[in-house]
Structure 1
Amino acid sequence: MLVAGILCLAFGVLPLPAFGELTARTVPILAFVLAMTVVTELVADAGLFQVLTDRIAVFGRGRVWLLWLLVIALATVSTVFLSLDTTAVLVTPVVVLLAMHARIPALPFALTAVWLANTASLLLPVSNLTNLLAQSRLGLSPAAFAGLVWAPALAGIVLPVAMLGIAFRKQLGGQYGPQPPHKVQDRPLLLTCAATLAVLLPALVSGVPVQIPAMAAALILLGVFARRRPGSLRWSMVPWRPLMLTIGLFMVVESLHAIGLTPLLGGVSGSGDGLPSLLRLAGLGAATANIANNLPAYLALEPEAGSPVRLAALLIGVNLGPLISPWASLATLLWHERLKALNVQVRWGGFAAAGLCCVVLLLPLSVLVLWLASGTT
């Protein structure tokens, strides 16, 4: 994909002025993605996520349903403040291993992680790369962005959790025994990571450009690890493949816009802020995300979202809709890689059927509450 983007630029399909605007808009976002990936990898290496799951196991008091609710809280907070990919990559294995060690079914916990990684990723700009792109277009502060999407963001958490609770009510009704805690190898390092994360999270919603606190946190942790645990610093922490894919997608979709994609989509995406038009745009975003991927779906349809409410409807489609196909979001693919490493099997037919049921209910509800909260007619 990156080679395709470079070829588009080299042969003039992507004009230089458009490439310059694209670069100015996306480099800060990519810097944030890189920095946050390094931060979460180092925090996980220090054992912070394992310590959190140990506490969750204790607070669950031997009741599976209470343990599941605490896992929901962890997955939601991780997605909202650290991004959906963090939940897919780092939260999934620890909660699945927690279930396996407690000898309770792992599937409810695994499916909860991946559904919330997608559907809880609407509230803040840092929750999803598509949100960062939307924020850069609208010029909104994190608080103003949350004020625009809070209603559908709440629906994106409540309805999937309710559906999972109904579907897995029998598996969630049992008991589990006490769990042995993980041994902390370097407590000062763990406390440093926890303190850094505690300062970083409010900084990400303070209104400061998010790449600044993220890069500062990454540099602090890199310095601490270089001194205390240099063996943990490796080039594999850098998300080379996702970054190359993302850069390539940016360039290819911008090239398609340059040769006439925008007028083509304008005929099918509707216009205006009325409820039918918002439903149409969200549905098109969800369908495109499940056919291709949510990032190119957003990039392709962004020019058709001419108002904040329409942009929020598009985000509903591309953030809450990718629950059907495995490739609809990068988070789902990363989640599946982690499950394969843990020898947890997922049947894609069942995954797609369950996701379709959720999307069919969730998208209209989310668009409806967006429309009601926005006060448009």
Structure 2
Amino acid sequence: MADTVRDLVPLVALLALLAVAVVHPPEWLEALVGVGAAAVVLAFGQLDSGDLSTERDHLLPVVGFLMAILVVAECCRAAGLFGAIGARLARDTEPHRLFRLTFLVATVVTVALSLDATVVLLTPVVLAAGAGAALDRPLQLVCVRLANSASLLLPVSNLTNLLAMPYLGIGFGRFALLMAPTWLLTLALEYAGHRWFFRHAFAADPPATPVTDEPLPPLPRTPLLVVAAMLVAFAVGSPFGIDPVWFAGIAAVVLVGHGLARGELTVGRAVRSTHASFAVFVLGLGLVVEALGHGPVGDLVARLVPDDDGLSALLALAVLGAVLANLLNNLPATLLLVPLVGPLGTVPVLATLVGINLGSSLTWPGSLANLLWRRTVRRSGGTVRSRDFHLVALLVTPVAIGAGVVVLHLWAGLV
């Protein structure tokens, strides 16, 4: 009986954390539940000092990076970057050009500033630009779709990628090289899927473009230069074992200083933009999933992991990752599955990430980005359409996962 209770504790703690992620209560409660769940798991003795040390070394750089990149994104917003993007989107009402531009912007923001910036900062801008237009449905949906899909390219585009990096044995550039063909194929499928599903909206007559002589607000150069330098530093520092958190931290400090000097930012706003409560929540989640992996759930998942790296095994890993992402959410799925796949090698871990990152867009709880996007749309006065979300996912995601893994397998064999 005692062993049964002990094994159930991490599962109950994880369910509590997932409920908090769905409801998204005040920040202090989010942090409190994260601390409480971790404390309960530790009290029942599922983790020893070695486990705690390993998780600390694994999670702290990832959480630190998350906080830094959120500050960078907020500084970009304070400098007017997203406002300038919104003005350019609103100026062009021709459906095909507007969608292509939005698609491109969502891809670049996800790759450079992570998927959280796309769902939280870019989404309101896109909603405002497409308000009243026939394309309002595909424009808002493409933000959350690309937040998950476009995050395949770089380790820093998604927390799942960063969590997997210690098990990959490759650097920043090699990750991008191996993932690039799958990423490009996924973007092509996303574009084609949206164009087909919303074909009637694209066929509608565009609204008249308002005549205005007002100049477009300029794109702020300093944030763009700092973000570009940060991305280059990630690639240059990776072969030397320098963690991305240091470069993201430097970029955050530079942009905060720039924003304070220009009066665009306050100290309080900069501190709030770290979302420290969410960082605490992620730390608690990591400890709970580590404990879950030591019990029956971990044993079950381990039995489902294939023992080779052939194409059929890679496809099985991607499917397993997608299923776990939708059952447990993408972060717990990564924390639970990737350490088990790691001994199989780099390509199996990458195939697992393809399944987790793309598969997490199938249901609302599959990715924290989905939940953040839904909340952002509602707060911005938009309408969340579950039918569009799920039907486009069913149309695009299974094909993208299967084709993406095949391309990854073939490309890895060449390079």
Same fold (TM over 0.5): yes
What are the Cα deviations for residues 82-125 of structure 1, in whole angstroms up to 9, with x where unaligned? 11111111111111211116x34311101111111101111110
Partner residue in 1 for 2:376: 338
Partner residue in 1 for 2:150: 120
CA distance in 1, matches of 2:233, 2:310: 36
Tell me the secondary structure at the aligned position of residue 170 of structure 1.
Answer: helix
CA distance in 2, matches of 1:73, 1:116: 10
Instruction: Indicate conservation of the 8 Å contact 1:270/1:280, yes or no.
Output: yes
Tell me the secondary structure at the aligned position of residue 233 of structure 1.
Answer: helix
CA distance in 2, matches of 1:108, 1:169: 10
The correspondence for 1:255, drawn from 286, 291, 302, is: 291
CA distance in 1, matches of 2:314, 2:48: 32
Partner residue in 2 for 1:311: 349
Partner residue in 1 for 2:173: 143
Tell me the secondary structure at the aligned position of residue 100 of structure 1.
Answer: coil
Instruction: Indicate conservation of the 8 Å contact 1:261/1:300, yes or no.
Output: no
CA distance in 1, matches of 2:394, 2:267: 40
Do residues 218 (structure 1) and 252 (structure 2) align? yes
Partner residue in 2 for 1:49: 82
Call closer, same or farther: CA 1:12–1:82 in 2, change over 3 Å.
same
Shift of 1:182: 8.8
Shift of 1:197: 2.5
What are the Cα deviations for residues 60-102 of structure 1, in whole angstroms up to 9, with x where unaligned? 4x4210111111111111111211111111111111211116x
- TM-score, scaled to structure 2: 0.83
Partner residue in 2 for 1:356: 394
Partner residue in 1 for 2:111: 80
Do residues 27 (structure 1) and 60 (structure 2) align? yes
Instruction: Indicate conservation of the 8 Å contact 1:31/1:211, yes or no.
Output: yes
Instruction: Indicate conservation of the 8 Å contact 1:323/1:356, yes or no.
Output: no
CA distance in 1, matches of 2:190, 2:261: 43
Shift of 1:260: 5.1
What code does the residue aligned with 1:95 have? V
Call closer, same or farther: CA 1:65–1:179 in 2, change over 3 Å.
farther
What code does the residue aligned with 1:295 have? L
Shift of 1:231: 3.8
Structure 1, unaligned runs of 5 or more: none
Instruction: Indicate conservation of the 8 Å contact 2:152/2:354, yes or no.
Output: yes
Partner residue in 2 for 1:270: 306
Shift of 1:266: 2.2
Shift of 1:271: 2.4
What code does the residue aligned with 2:324 have? T
Shift of 1:45: 1.8
Partner residue in 2 for 1:169: 199
Instruction: Indicate conservation of the 8 Å contact 1:45/1:232, yes or no.
Output: no
Instruction: Indicate conservation of the 8 Å contact 1:143/1:205, yes or no.
Output: yes
CA distance in 1, matches of 2:137, 2:366: 20
Instruction: Indicate conservation of the 8 Å contact 2:167/2:349, yes or no.
Output: no
CA distance in 1, matches of 2:392, 2:220: 38
- Which shifted more, 43-52 or 111-120? 43-52
Taking only aligned residues, the RMSD between alpha carbons, in angstroms, comes to 2.3
Instruction: Indicate conservation of the 8 Å contact 1:316/1:366, yes or no.
Output: yes
What are the Cα deviations for residues 236-275 of structure 1, in whole angstroms up to 9, with x where unaligned? 3221343233111110111122335443212223221112
Structure 2, unaligned runs of 5 or more: 1-16, 18-33
Partner residue in 2 for 1:15: 48
Call closer, same or farther: CA 1:275–1:139 in 2, change over 3 Å.
closer
CA distance in 1, matches of 2:215, 2:120: 19
CA distance in 1, matches of 2:69, 2:357: 19
Partner residue in 2 for 1:94: 125
Shift of 1:167: 1.2
CA distance in 1, matches of 2:248, 2:152: 19
Call closer, same or farther: CA 1:260–1:16 in 2, change over 3 Å.
farther
